[in-house]
Amino acid sequence: MDNTGLSDRLRRLTHPLLLPMARFLGRLGFTPNMLSLIGMGAYVLAAFVLAAGHPLLCAAILIIFGPLDVLDGTLARDSGQESDYGAFLDATLDRYEEFFIYAGLLYYMLNGLGKGPLSALLVLSALSGSFFVSYTRAKAEALGFECSVGILTRFERIVLFILAIVTGWIDPLLAVIALLSFVTTFQRMAVVAKQARKHEG
């Protein structure tokens, strides 16, 4: 049984398509770290666009530039430019990207849609849940455990975020992101606990 997250499985399935794109960007002179930074800039732009009250344009930016989250790693592996710093930079920028789009969403909800404290709490819960999911994997792998399982990884969170701002079902889908993020965190805690017991045994 494949216990890896959906985003990891999608990377494997789409690799034949992503590899030529990554090589093309490499021939244009882009490095993996440059792609990571461009992706970060796109998320910041998307956040400001959303805060200004343009959810459809925000969604379009995320859809267009979202693949850079995968292409940077694909280019690094294919070109032999993988490095510990590159992996660190990519993971750090991923967290900033999520922070900015949720901050943009919070501003849009409070000032553009006239939402109240409950909506703000849902934004905080979704963002916190997303960070917990990422932290548990990073900490587990730093300790030598395998921890790519989970019902809601970064890919699914971004898809649900886009659906939320496009459909206007923001509060319900934020609740789904928050709930499933915390479920994923506990899934990863359970998997690591099982591995730890096996190692100690």
pLDDT at 1: 37
Residues with pLDDT less than 50, the chain: 1-3
Q: Contacts from 87-94 at CB under 8 Å and sequence distance 24+?
A: 89/33, 89/36, 90/32, 90/36, 91/134, 91/138, 93/36, 93/37, 93/39, 93/40, 94/69, 94/134, 94/154
The residue type of 42 is A
pLDDT at 7: 58
Q: Tell whether pTM > 0.85.
A: yes
pLDDT at 69: 82
Please answer whether residues 68 and 36 qualify as being in contact, where contact means their C-beta atoms are separated by less than 8 angstroms: yes
Alpha-carbon gap, residue 48 to 108, rounded angstroms: 9
Please answer whether residues 153 and 8 qualify as being in contact, where contact means their C-beta atoms are separated by less than 8 angstroms: yes
User: What's the count of helices (H) and strands (E) in the chain, helices before strands?
Assistant: 8, 0
pLDDT at 126: 97
Note if 94 is an active site residue.
yes
The residue type of 68 is L
Alpha-carbon gap, residue 59 to 89, rounded angstroms: 24
Q: How many residues are listed for the chain in this entry? A: 201
Domains of the chain, with CATH numbers?
A: 6-200 (1.20.120.1760)
pLDDT at 3: 47
The residue type of 83 is S
Residue of 69, 72, 90, 94 with catalytic role: 94
Q: What is the CA radius of gyration of the chain?
A: 18
pLDDT at 6: 57
